[in-house]
Each structure stands twice: as C-alpha cells, then as structure tokens.
A and B are shown apart, each in its own frame.
Chain A
Amino acid sequence: MKNPRWNPYLVGALIGLLSILTFSLANKPLGMSTGLAQASGACALPILGADKVAANTYWAKTAVPTWDYSTLFLVGTVLGALLSALLCGTFKVSADSAVWTESFGPSKPKRLIAAFLGGVVILYGARLADGCTSGHGISGCLQLAVSGWLFFLVMFASGILTAKLLYGRSRQA
C-alpha cells in the first residue's frame, strides 16, 4: 500500500484554490458547523416534535433543517473522504489512536463516550462562536475577519491547555 498522504502544503494550497472557487462561482465560503446545526434540527424532529422545532428561533432563522447548500456540502465531504479512503485502501473500522491509548488505555467504550462528549462540546462551542475550523479558521481568516483570527487564537490556546490536562502524562514517556 502506497502512503496515501499528500504533502500538507499541496493539500493546503488545493483547499485554498477550492475556497477561491466556492467564493467566486457559488458565492459561498467553506463551512461545516452550520450544516451540522441544520442536521441537528432534523434529528430533533422525532424527539421534540415538528411544532417545537418550527417554533425554535435558531432552527427557524439561522439553521433551517433542510437540504440546501450547507447540508449538501456535508454529504459531499462524507463522500469525498470515503472515496479517498477506498481508493488508497485505508478504509478501516476502528477507534484506536496512539495518543488516547497512552493516557487512557485501550478501552473502547471509554474512548467512544469521550468522543461523544467531545462532540457535544465542540458543536456547542462552534455554534456559540458562529463557526468552526472551516468557517472561522479557514474562511474567516483568509478574508482577514477579526472574528476568524480571534477564534483561531483562542481555540488554539484552549486546545493546548486541554491537551496538557488530558494527555499530559503521556508526554513524559
């Protein structure tokens, strides 16, 4: 099996070109978390009922649960990653990662619960900030938006601190 990874500078440049295309041809920036918030509205339908979802200010105005550019972009992202993984033969059902195992051992349930909680936290943060690593980090920063750079710096600082607290022990090894 060939090394599937491309040079990170090449990949970065291609993502930059991709955002030039989406900005100019579709008048859309790259972004992820709005689409996920829209999807969360769709998932809330059977739990909360259609009336409650429709009456919610956020789902009614900002993140309407529907198939539109943002949600279809997510579908494309899944397909693209799947295609890449299949093409280079790296598709593998697994939950192992070296850094996690060094600190917390090989327990799968432990890892999955932590990932679930991390998912809850990350999307709440992304919606509060109105963007994620794509919407603020790439699209915002490349337009020299103050919100983008503020997000990037604070996220990075918070990540460093959290990594120290969570995985600090494994660094001594």
Chain B
Amino acid sequence: MLLPLAFLTGPELLWSAVAFGLVFGFLLHRGGVTDFDVIVRLFQFRDFTVIKVMMTAIAVGGVGIAILHGQDLAQYHIKATNLLAVGLGAAIFGVGMVLYGYCPGTGLAAVATGRLDALAGLAGMLVGGIAYALTFDWVAANILPVGAYGKLRLPELLGLPEWVCYAGLVVMAAGIFALVHKAEKKA
C-alpha cells in the first residue's frame, strides 16, 4: 500500500535519504551530542543534553506521527519485542556507548567534526557488524526466539487507548524535564 503522502520513491527516495541524513547530522552537531563528554556525563547525571534532545524528539515526533497515522497518512514501523535479544543487546550497547563515548549516529557525525576517537570507533563498529553477521545464524537460532512477542506496542501491552498513552508520554517528558532542571540547579 502506498501512502498518499509517501510520494518519495525510486531515485527521489535515495536523494531524500541524503537530504534527511544531512539535516539529522547537522542537528546532532548543533545539539552538542557529538561530544564525548556530553554523552558520558549523561550516565553520570552531570549533563542532561542527551535526555532533553531525545525526550523532546520522542514527544514531538510521537504526537505528530500518531496524528498522521490516525488519518492514514503515516505507517508505523514497529520492531519486534524479542525480550532476550533486545535486553542483552541494549546491555551490551550501554557498555559500548560509555567506552566509545558516542552512539552509532553521534559517532558517525563526530567523525565529520574531526574526532579521531570517533573514527577509531567507526572502524570498530564495522568490525562489530562483521562479527554479528558471522554469528547471526547462531543468534537467530538461540537468542532471537527467546521471549519473542512480535511487534508489540505499549497501548496493547497496557490495555490503554492510544491517546492516553500519548498523553502519558508528554506528561512523562515534562516530568523528566522538571527533574532535570531541579538537578541542574543543585549542581
């Protein structure tokens, strides 16, 4: 099914990928999240830039896409809830993020600002990708099926209407921002 708004196809879609990526990279740098110290200090509760950027993006993007989805103008792309794979992967990811000092997107953007450590980590990420591909058959047989709940969303999990969940999301974001400001004042 082609959405009425999704008119970008073929070569235009590929050009749009470069254009959208360009905006994303630009924003990551302007947001200050291409900085090792900003990323690592998040996990020490000394810098809340990442949380402010991410929670605002989630709240704004979430409400916007929910409205479009309600009008059949946007499709959801939900990733499967494979409990063990997502949980284990996220735990490994957290270790990597603190050691690397970037996440995959901010690391790539940091390479473009001249960061040599980000470049070394990019080489590492490519090796990590090769390692995953080489172990994929085993992972697919032993890890991915454990606790596989499919494409699950919070409204289904909690048994609440969509709008309640989105309202909750916005309230939660506001609550987190309030807490963050309190913590910043104390510091």
Contact = CB atoms under 8 A, between A and B. Distances in A.
Interface string A14-48: 11111111111111111011001101110110011
Contact of B120 (A116, A121, A151, A155): A116
B123 to A, nearest CB: 6
Contacts of A167: 40, 44, 98
Given A16-B64, A26-B13, A127 B166 contact: no
B21 interface: yes
Nearest to B12: A26
Contacts, number: 516
Contacts of B36: 97, 99-100
Interface in B66-121: 68, 73-83, 85-101, 103-118, 120-121
Contacts of B98: 118, 159, 162-163, 166-167
Contacts of B165: 144
Given A76-B24, A135-B79, A147-B152, A17 B17 contact: no
A144 B59 CA distance: 10
Interface string A67-107: 11110111111111111110000111111011110000000
A119 B121 contact: yes
Contacts of A49: none
A24 B68 contact: yes
Contacts of A73: 17-18, 20-21, 24
A80 to B, nearest CB: 3
Contacts of B123: 116, 119
Contacts of A28: 17, 77
Contacts of B54: 12, 133, 137-138, 141
Nearest to A6: B30
B108 A147 contact: no
Nearest to A127: B132
Given A127-B128, A146-B152, A159-B94, A81 B17 contact: no
B128 A99 contact: no
Given A4-B29, A151-B93, 14 more contacts: A5-B30, A11-B31, A12-B54, A16-B60, A36-B129, A83-B25, A118-B121, A119-B100, A137-B103, A138-B61, A143-B62, A144-B154, A156-B94, A163-B44
